[in-house]
Chain A
Amino acid sequence: MSKQEYTVTVYTENQVGLLNRIAIIFSRRKINIDSLNTSPSEVAGVHRFTIVINETEDVVRKLCRQIEKQVEVLKAYYNTNDEIVWQELAMYKVPTDVIAEKVKVERLLREYGARAVAIRKDYIVFETSGHREEIDALIKALEPFGLIEFVRSARVAIIKTSNGFHEKLKEFEYREPSEEVIENEYLNETEKEKIFSM
């Protein structure tokens, strides 16, 4: 099995220390996290982690089970890049005089769909969003013109086939413990589409 990029989406309770609990699942196995984002989700009170790693599916599946095992984790999914819509946001600080003087730069920024978010006498901050390659391409293009500072955000991703977490959460929330709980329903269905394969 070969390694590839996987995006792990984790729905959790919002609790201090949970980030550490999840992060050590990776670090314990000496797996590097390429990108990590935490944010609110579509459901109030539920947090969403988006974690990008480069690993084999076998490893990712086991990681997701270890993540789901944590008491405050509601659900963990993993997806390949073609199963998600994803974006990263980047900001570039460029000297104003260069931009003002060189028409070429302006054309470049248009081409990459960059937007100015701060304009000052000495520098301008542009932002752009997209896939990593697109963002990286703009850095390359801007470098000769004196790129002062650059920063890129973690990946955020939407799972194409997901119906959101509302229904799922209702199951988690309102079921009395004695009732049947549907979980890990995908555990044994490896033949099934890889989406939601936990």
Chain B
Amino acid sequence: METIHKIKSNTSEQKTSKPPLQGTERENISGSEAVMRALACEKVDTIFGYPGGAIMPIYDALYDHVKKVNHILVRHEQGAIHAAQGYARTSGKVGVVFATSGPGATNLVTGLADAMIDSTPVVCVTGQVYAHLLGTDAFQETDVINITTPVTKWNYQVTDATEIPSVMAKAFYIAGSGRPGPVVIDITKNAQLQKFDFDGYKKIDHIRSYRPKPIVRKKYVEEAAKLINSAEKPFVIFGQGVILGKAENEFKQFIEKGGLPTAWTIMGMSAIPTDHPLAVGMLGMHGNYGPNVLTNDCDVLIAVGMRFDDRVTGRLDKYAKQAKVIHLDIDPAEIDKNVKTTVSVWGDCKETLPLLTELIEQKVHPQWLERFHEFQKKEEETCIIPELNPTSETLSMGEVIKLLNELTHGDAVMVTDVGQHQMVACRYTKLNHTKSNITSGGLGTMGFALPAAIGAKFGAPNRTVIAVIGDGGFQMTIQELGTVMQSQVNIKIIVLNNNFLGMVRQWQQLFHDRRYSFVEISSPDFVQVAKGYHIDGRCVSKREELNDALTAMLDHKGPYVLEVMVGKENNVFPMVPQGCSVAEIRLK
């Protein structure tokens, strides 16, 4: 037997701290300056943040860099992280947040949880009290690392400035690679102030204990291709993985070659144009009729970059039991987590999809696709036409979205909050370009849309960004109108006001005998509120005003708030009631 051999622990930190480059002098700089240098090397152009005591040295260093980096002062740290999420989602880059210790950091937690569950790359730099005060219940001290551990992909507390370059490099690498996610770097004030010899910032692309991309096993790709080729009723469902993997073209080629009917999850929406001939709509609780029912009729179900959330699967023991399931995902932990797969192809879909496309036969499935269209017709009669062309006196949410489609031609970025309006917007919005649907899918965070739209605009400055928000969600982060005002963020805000917390009211109506428990919500005069922030606005409640109002909003130079009064007790259908299978979706 061999004796224990000692392998030198070669950590990634050591790997990255090579001797300084020739010709460059070692500079003596502060930890805070090192943070700013790191951001510059990572090509960060926008920071969303809010200063405070424990992060003041970093804000002081920022003062010298304001020509190169744009700092957006938000009104609440939750707004900062949602904005960073919106930025990350439209730009495909890592969003960056600054917040102070204690309440500054705890205000980030909702956004961290949201970014975690929706795989959004965000790096949050939080200030922390001096290292010698840690654990003493110092002013504005909280145990940020432990509070954020369950809702971060990685977090780290820096107490020594010399660690900053390598830790920041790790943070950006971890946040953006593999299945992306949020990272918190908590830096004590002494480390921010500490001077040290800076020998340059090196981006990293390897950490020995971290495997962002599983290798692709050709064997499983071949098996998957065989299954797809033998299928008579294949059905593709995809999620945000396609967008995160920047694999939209690869995905399109895949479904087009195989002639595969394709549905998206709410997070996957916009990866292919919503009017693509093979697109059959949205999955899930308030998704389309055909894709839900036919999930339980297809013979091969091909899931790409999605995680079989319970809102997508409905009752799991009655989900696609007849089908052979192929699951393509970058995260091995997602394989077999909820739905048992026949063939799992783990890997980056940017790599796996082309391999698969090469092996599948060029095919069309006209009869099978026609079945989706038949269901579509039924859905149109019962749900879609009444929603988009209502005969009621009051406006419906759907007709607002329909008009918006006509005016934007599907070229805008749609940011939605959470609730009925979110479902209606995602059901009916036409989107032609990827990274156009920004919503809080996994966590369902009310108050997400306004700050996320701010960030989305900075991530895609040349695109029209429209935030569709309910009257409840708008009031949760309405203070971010201050950010819109101060930074002159050109976003269009549509508040669909039904004077109710509509989704909860709908559930109370359907499942709790109309016992409307605390769902009636009053609102301030939103137009007046906007005026107070020097933002133009208008409120409409009549059909004949709607087109004019939407056109005026879109033509307006600068931010705009359009409040639309809609039917108080409208419901969103179809609906898969909780505890039912996807095939039991109700049209009314």
Contacts and interface: CB of A to CB of B under 8 A. Distances in A.
Partners in one complex: yes
Contacts of A13: 11, 208-209
A74 B150 CA distance: 19
B7 A44 contact: yes
B346 interface: yes
B149 A24 contact: yes
Interface string B1-44: 00011111111000000000000000000000000000000000
A20 interface: yes
B210 A169 contact: no
A138 interface: no
B211 interface: yes
Interface string A181-196: 1111001100000000
Contacts of B337: 62, 65
A181 B6 contact: no
A68, A181, A184, most chain B CB atoms within 10 A: A184
A176 B214 CA distance: 14
A172 B346 contact: no
Nearest to A42: B4
Contact of B174 (A68, A71, A169, A170): A71
Contacts of A184: 214, 332, 346
A66 B333 contact: yes
B153 interface: yes
A72 B337 CA distance: 22
Contacts of B206: 176-177
Contact of A69 (B6, B220, B331): B331
A24 B336 CA distance: 21
Interface residues on A, range: 35 or more
Contact of B208 (A42, A68, A173): A173
A139 interface: no
Interface in A26-72: 28, 42-46, 61-62, 65-66, 68-69, 71-72
A45 B6 CA distance: 10
Contacts of A46: 9
A1 to B, nearest CB: 13
Contact of A68 (B155, B207, B333): B333
Nearest to B216: A180
B310 interface: no
A144 interface: no
A17 B364 CA distance: 53
Given A44-B6, A68-B332, A166-B7, A17 B205 contact: no
Contacts of A45: 8-9, 11
A20 B146 contact: yes
Interface of B: 4-11, 145-146, 149-150, 153-157, 174, 205-211, 213-215, 217, 220, 331-333, 335-337, 344, 346
Given A42-B4, A45-B11, A71-B153, 14 more contacts: A17-B157, A24-B150, A44-B7, A62-B333, A65-B337, A71-B154, A72-B209, A74-B209, A164-B4, A166-B7, A177-B206, A181-B213, A181-B214, A188-B220
